[in-house]
Amino acid sequence: MARKILSKNFKKFLIFLFIFLITPSFAITPADMVVVKKSEHRLYLMKNGKVIKSYHVVFGKNPKGHKIKEGDSKTPEGLYVLDYKNLNSKFYKSIHISYPNKQDIERARKLHVNPGGDIMIHGQKNGWEMFSFIMQRFNWTRGCIALSNKDMDEVWKSVKVGTPIKILP
């Protein structure tokens, strides 16, 4: 009898464990801010001023300094907003950063250059997913912030349109 009860409880435990392991996390905490530290190659999801999760990221080929003009392969620095999501990107999911802002446009105007745009947080280039372990070891974007596809899924779920993003040197 005791063996039957133990066996029944063990089966329940195995079912629970199986469901827990195959079910995507229900506890995705919505971030109220995203902070990117270029010098650390980290993207931080924040909630009430505390880090809830962090991810390794890579940037443009020329990551030091603020983006000034189109084609400089720099990732902008400053405070922006994540203003829309795109499932039909050339990359695995993308979230648009509101670069250029008024200051960026004014700076570019004074320098007689185009500030560029189309800066995103995104996963790997479609068709290149299998090379993520290599691609995440060097800066390869044209100024965007790139994560592995797995990490992009988590960021995608945690970040809502309208979330502020602070990009630091």
What stretches in the chain show pLDDT beneath 50? Answer: 6, 14, 16-21, 23, 25-26
Largest CA-CA distance found in the chain, in angstroms, rounded: 85
Looking at residue 117, what is its pLDDT?
92
CA-to-CA dists, residue 74 to 14, 24, 43, 48, angstroms: 50, 35, 16, 29
Looking at residue 139, what is its pLDDT?
80
Looking at residue 23, what is its pLDDT?
46
Structural domains of the chain ordered from first start: 30-168 (2.40.440.10)
DSSP code at position 15? H
CA 29/CA 127 separation, integer angstroms: 30
Q: Which sequence positions are flagged as catalytic?
A: 122, 144
26: amino acid identity, one letter = F
CA 115/CA 119 separation, integer angstroms: 11
Give the rounded percent of residues in the chain with a pLDDT score beyond 70.
Answer: 78
Looking at residue 29, what is its pLDDT?
87
Name the residue with tokens 């988590």: 154
- pTM for the structure as a whole: 0.79
Q: Residue 61 region, left (φ>0) first, then alpha (ψ -120 to 50), else beta?
A: alpha
- Whether the link from the prior residue into 76 is cis, omega within 30° of 0, is no
pLDDT digits (tens, 9 = 90+) for 130-144: 666 666 777 878 999
